Chains A and B, each alone.
Chain A
Amino acid sequence: MRVPEAAIRKTLADANLQLAIYTNTGRFKENRSKAVAAEVLPEYQELRTRAAAIKRHTLDFLDVYLLQFESAVEAHGGKVIWASTGEEAADFILKLAKERAASLIVKSKSMTSEEIDLNERLAHHELEAVETDLGEYILQLAGQKPFHIVAPAIHMTRNDVADVFTEKLGIERDTVIENQAMTARRVLREKFLAAGIGVTGANFLAADAGAVVIVENEGNARLSHSAPPVHVAIAGIEKLIPRVRDLGVFLDLLGRSASGQALTSYTSIVSGPKRAGELDGPEEFYVVLLDAGRTKLLADKEKRESLQCIRCGACLNACPVYRKIGGHNYPWVYSGPIGKVITPQFQGRGKDPWLPFASSLCGACAEVCPVKIDIPGLLLQLRREAVAADPADRLLFRAWAWLMTRPAMYGMLARIGLRFSGVEMGPLAAWRAERDFPAVPEKSFRALWKERKK
């Protein structure tokens, strides 16, 4: 696919959308910086180092941890389902739903299930799978994909939500946010109590306990794994960590990096179905371990570290490109810097060859990444691979290199392209990561730079 230029132009021209992206990511950014500041968390850098080391270690010995996880799950009466593809994962849930005569499935937010289009696959078979995270619920009603991996509906306003609710739920138009949230509570509460299966994702899988760890603020994940008679957790194989004890490092980093919270409202550590004598909880517990391309990344020693990602979203909020073009102009469900790194690896680099090039390599993403993924380094590698693989791209890259050595020409093109590419073109690499424009600047960076030099 080529650069979705028209769509990007549309995003850039939409003043309300620009404001929404800018303020929302800005707030996340600010909350994160406060929460990891040296006065608040002096051990922050040490935590990052440990987290990166533990993740890397787990990936390097993943075969052992997968087996350890499986036997621990089985010891507590659960079952591990291995899925090579998204289709296999969906097929398992379909078969289970049929056997248990479950026609309603409640789901809590899971990027992994988005990745494999689980809802669409289930809907094909007349199974109702309801998203229960408020943002995801709104998006499902509106027929949209997540805009952000942590905050899926940051691009929508209360007016958008009012329109969606009126149209899809047939209720009177109401733009009061509290009322909208309470409408969701009322509608979804009935679903939780009636559902035959609850599907969740997993932020971590602790190998020693066979436990699924889920982090959230709303309580919909708790309801999904507590209320229905069957709990299915679906997770990529890279989610493993060796021990529950390691959460002392990861929870702190995840919460602070994602939303500035030391701990989110709820952290669930689920190790199996309900045990003898328990009065509630699921009777059956399954963990679907998904490959769907992950073993390909694992085999690449240099790019293996992209599997360390804990999906905190901090790199999106820090990224000057994401903050202009938003989440829907990336070709896959994973947007922002981490999306650029993993999309070509998962989907094949021929599909969207432009993706690794749409970056100024300013380094803001690597600076905030809690597990120290060298995103700019990985992007450079992907660029080299793309160029080596495709002569057309080599040409494109040469043209770019040519431009870069001709400042006048570059300046002209940059001015023309300003409304398209915003602030993230070449020279911005020199800018500090924390520097942001409130909106598309009137003047080009080069013009400003010239003025400054005067």
Chain B
Amino acid sequence: MDSREAILERVRAGLGRKLGQKPLPPPEPLLRIDTLGASGRLELFRRKLMGTLTVAADAAVAGRAVADLLNGREAVASGHPFLERCGIRSMARVFTDPAELRNACATAGVGITSAYCLLAETGTIVLRATPEEPRLPSLLPPVHIAVVPEERLLTNLDEMLSMTPRPVDDASAMVLISGPSRTGDIEQFLVRGVHGPGEIHVVIVQGKHRDS
């Protein structure tokens, strides 16, 4: 008998269950959604974000805000169409070549992405791994900038989980970023940027965006 069968059989024997016997339905999780208005969400996000927040009136303003944040530094941008729309992918010193992605992420000072959504209550940037939003731009460079349309700002994780109860069915990974990379492993002394970005900037873009 292989280990699969052996383990399953031990489990069933231990529980006193038979092969194919139906389970009871699972208890419901408690999903807490406070209904905050758009301005309430924005204020909450500003308070909770462990990084800087810029609110831009439109895509062009957002592009200029990113240019200011970059201040001439080399950056790598994901292929998200919203970054294109804000004119970020065509900026000087912003790498976008998919073939060079890994190297560019390993050397660039800044990684720029959009986001699947933002969560106000925990100051969280939610990213999903897709062809347009690879994993490394938000991970390898020491600084991460996320440029996100305001309509993607949700109240909290529970709201996201009620809207999208199965968020990784159509993406191979999802990551919730709720602060800079940090460690307290030596004497509980807080050091930022130990492995991932130590600095986070979010640019929220107001107005309607069809292709966001």
Contacts and interface: CB of A to CB of B under 8 A. Distances in A.
Q: Do A and B come from one complex?
A: yes
Interface of A: 20, 23-24, 27, 43, 46-47, 50, 53-54, 57-58, 60-67, 76, 82-84, 88, 132-135, 138, 151-154, 156-158, 161, 177-178, 180-182, 184-185, 188-189, 193, 208-209, 211, 217-220, 222-223, 225-227, 237, 242-249, 251-252, 261-281, 289, 291, 295-296, 298-299
Interface of B: 2-4, 6-8, 10-15, 17, 19, 22-24, 26-32, 79, 98, 101-102, 106, 121-122, 124, 129-131, 134-136, 139, 157-158, 161-162, 165-169, 171-189, 191, 193-197
B174 A242 contact: no
A243 B165 contact: yes
B132 to A, nearest CB: 9
Contacts of A76: 172
B182 A265 contact: yes
Contact of B186 (A181, A185, A189, A246): A181
Name B's interface SS: loop
Contacts of A291: 3, 7, 10
Contacts of A245: 29, 31, 161-162, 165
28 contacts: A54-B26, A63-B19, A133-B185, A158-B189, A161-B186, A178-B191, A180-B186, A182-B191, A193-B102, A208-B166, A218-B182, A218-B185, A218-B196, A219-B194, A220-B194, A222-B135, A247-B161, A248-B30, A248-B158, A252-B157, A269-B168, A269-B176, A275-B172, A281-B135, A281-B172, A291-B7, A295-B7, A299-B14
Given A178-B191, A182-B191, A217-B179, 6 more contacts: A47-B30, A82-B7, A83-B3, A222-B175, A261-B178, A262-B121
Given A138-B185, A157-B187, A265-B177, A278 B195 contact: no
Contact of A184 (B171, B172, B194): B194
Given A269-B168, A279-B98, A295-B11, A54 B29 contact: yes
A365 to B, nearest CB: 22
Contacts of A276: 131
Contacts of A277: 131
Contact of B7 (A27, A133, A289): A289
Contacts, number: 260
Given A50-B27, A219-B181, A265-B179, A132 B195 contact: yes
Contacts of B29: 50, 54, 243, 245-249
Given A43-B32, A222-B175, A134 B157 contact: no
B136 A298 contact: no
